[in-house]
Structure 1
């Protein structure tokens, strides 16, 4: 599944970013996601003293795959994707993946080990694309557009709720 996902998503991003930038993105997102998951498991162990956090295998390529979805959100936000019978805008795919992963982890015990990888993959790729990726056309680092802000991952009604909570 990881190879198929990489081929499908990489086929969209590689012509726009170039092979070198795509490889750099995969390396940075995979390394930063793995580091965050490692730190999270160590912190959870020290808080709970449950050894299952130390021995549960938490690794995989799902962080990079979810990160590639964020790249597609950045480049093709208004592209309509046909997923079976649904037409979904590409800008909502990372959010749908994150929400679905959280919901599934409540019901399927084995899937909870993939949850931090997916969520950190989305977040780390957003940080890299938002602040560090060099754009050759403009000569700037990152993507400061409002369409790619972190709040753009949430539906409008949740953005309003979060802004009200922050103001309190």
Structure 2
């Protein structure tokens, strides 16, 4: 990995995807064809980037609202007493809620199955990607059938697809 000064950002942006692709790097490093990381059509990323950029003020407001709600719900107020908190799981829950609020909105961003699936997918996909990255690519098709993490990735993918489809059908009917 190379870290460049900010002054080179415009020049780097001008490179075509065929010559410099972050998506290709991530897909290769994380065995995307098995973990579904960085395998989607580029138009999804373009649409997200365009829509988020155009609505950055609104996204900031949503993040602020969700952060307030999540902190109140996850951490609460204990008066003058201290209460132990498992920091990593709490922060992961908070980040997934906030991200979901901006990307999919309510009610899906508060759906426990959705949030749990996002967290477990990320964990399982990264574990599988690391295992596949450390093994020869010739045995990846075999590992695709044998690795429990990849079974879980496919299960999470199916769950997200089911939840998003149901959400979109409700929105379409309204």
Q: TM-score, normalization: structure 1? A: 0.30
Bigger radius of gyration among the two: 2
More strand by share: 1
Q: TM-score, normalization: structure 2? A: 0.29
